[in-house]
Structure 1
Amino acid sequence: MKRMGIGLQLYTVRDATAEDFEGTLRKIAAMGYEGVEFAGYGGIKAEAMRDLLQELNLKAIGSHIGLQLLEERLDEEIAYLQTIGAKYAICPWLPADARDTEAWRGHLVKFEEYGKRFREAGITFAYHNHDFEFEVEIDGQIVFDALYERIDPQYLQVEMDIGWVQYSGVDPLAYIAKYAGRLPLLHLKDFRAGEKGKQIDTVELGRGDLPLVPIIQAASEASVEWLIVEQDVCANPPLESVAESMEWMKNNYLNQ
């Protein structure tokens, strides 16, 4: 199996970073995470963040950049990513009023524009899914697939959130294989869910419904670069949750 990096999406520990960003990064590095994916920078200047990551031997995988920031502060976001050495910029989410078919037609145009700007700067643009991309169609094709069919791969790559893929009723293993070669980043999370549309729980790795070991194998075969742990909501203190998930990764992937 090809060795993939193990990262953490910092949104998972947002309460901890709000109190002490630097201290939280030190704890994450001590757990054994190899990289982090940002969702904001806690007001830390890019040069200071770069130096801290180098000290902790943490890779800057990339950053989740909201739609408003992409529209209004693209140059500043590019400069920050370049300084910290991040390779990826990811649109993570769309507000509810920006998800209908006509809105998506506009997003297709804008995403290609953003992708070109990032590519010029040596950064790869990607999109991170939830479930709503499987609920809207463009010309009879679900948005998730239309997005990647209509935008050239050099301008848009896939960051697949495998938990939301399964929750949407799609076979996660089949979808990983479908996007092999265009899927550098995989959000690895576990869901414990009832019927679609009912209350769901994001849980520590190994405590939910997803076939995580086959998913990791499929990710390796699809040339994924980073497995990124994310837990949207934690029942336990988030730092305890991500430590438990890292132990699961050590026992079921890293030490195999």
Structure 2
Amino acid sequence: MKTILSLFLVLATAASALADGAFTGTTGLQLYSLRNQFKLRGVPWTLDRVKSFGITEVELAGTYNLSPEEFKKELDQRGLIPVSGHFPYGRLKTDLDKVVSEAKTLGLKYAGCAWIDHKESFDEAECQDAIATFNKAGEALAAAGITFFYHCHGYEFEKHADGTLMDVLIKGTKPEFVSYEMDVLWVIFPGQDPAALLEKYPTRWKLMHLKDLKKGVATGSLSGGTDVKNDVTLGTGQMNWPSIFTAAQKVGVKHFFIEDESPTSEDQIPNSLSFLKNLKW
């Protein structure tokens, strides 16, 4: 009887564990979160601060008045790994060879773009221009062993046919050359569902920005912008993190970066890291 009871308890515990979830990704930081510290305190002080958070993987958005070689040296001295980086849309169109060279110098595995230059409302012609630009950039970077990605920003969800221009963008870019980074705030803010979007295109998402939207802020805007003070500590805003992480881990998102654009990011980042460490569902 004891043996049967013990077996039952083991099976019940295993079933419970399977039903539960936890965030298992390696948490990195988009260094743009500390752009003001880079400007006011300099690169060495700011990268020391990043290291003090216990973070090892970083995503770049510029090199803060240092050359790529100099910035990479500063990262290496602190054991910070530059997994990915953002480059301006215009440079992909007119300075692609140098973008590839800089990405190689920085040791990036992924190089991408976070904003498509467009008029007030993103339209189909601009979307098609981005498709051509991204396919070309992706092919050039792939030849150098680097994966190109686009980081969604909210304005791409303009309605089009039975879907949105985001659907047009994803379907029009070549999977072998173009991957995607989901910024969950810029999916929630325009009124979309991150988990549903991840599962709709399960092979395209490689990276994710972890960002929470302040409670009470209205969604449904396609502006691609909101007050930076609406970036709040992870777990205190509107995001359904269990749903998001379940889908992200299911489709194989490889790298997760906190991006906190608020003026209090330096204080909020440790709290966000603590939230991720203790998150269970």
Structure 1 partner of 2:28: 7
Structure 2 partner of 1:196: 220
Structure 2 partner of 1:94: 116
Q: What do you get for the CA RMSD once the two structures are aligned?
A: 2.2
Structure 2 partner of 1:36: 58
Larger mean CA deviation between 2-11 and 79-88 belongs to 2-11
- Could you say if the C-alpha distance between residues 24 and 169 of structure 1 is closer, same or farther in structure 2, counting changes exceeding 3 Å? same
Q: How does 1:79-228 map to 2 (within 5 A)?
A: 79-97=101-119, 99-137=122-160, 141-192=163-214, 193-197=217-221, 201-228=230-257
CA contact (8 A) 1:33 1:246 kept: no
Structure 2 partner of 1:50: 72
In structure 1, stretches of 5+ residues that fail to align are none
Q: Moved runs in structure 1, 4+ residues, more than 4 A?
A: none
**Cα displacement (A) at 1:52:** 2.4
Larger mean CA deviation between 191-200 and 87-96 belongs to 191-200
Structure 1 partner of 2:14: none
**Cα displacement (A) at 1:123:** 0.8
2:272 to 245, 249, 256: 245
Give the secondary-structure state (helix, strand or coil) at the position aligned to 1:184.
Answer: strand
In structure 2, stretches of 5+ residues that fail to align are 1-21
Q: How many residues align?
A: 251
Structure 1 partner of 2:94: 72
CA distance in 2, matches of 1:32, 1:177: 31
- Could you say if the C-alpha distance between residues 23 and 136 of structure 1 is closer, same or farther in structure 2, counting changes exceeding 3 Å? farther
> Normalising to structure 2: TM-score of the pair?
0.82
Q: Which has the larger radius of gyration?
A: 2
**Cα displacement (A) at 1:140:** 5.1
Give the secondary-structure state (helix, strand or coil) at the position aligned to 2:204.
Answer: coil
CA distance in 2, matches of 1:167, 1:134: 11
CA contact (8 A) 1:157 1:183 kept: yes
**Cα displacement (A) at 1:210:** 0.3
CA distance in 1, matches of 2:231, 2:193: 18
Of all paired residues, the percent bearing the same amino acid is 29
CA distance in 1, matches of 2:86, 2:105: 16
CA contact (8 A) 2:86 2:114 kept: yes
Give the secondary-structure state (helix, strand or coil) at the position aligned to 1:97.
Answer: coil
CA contact (8 A) 1:2 1:221 kept: no
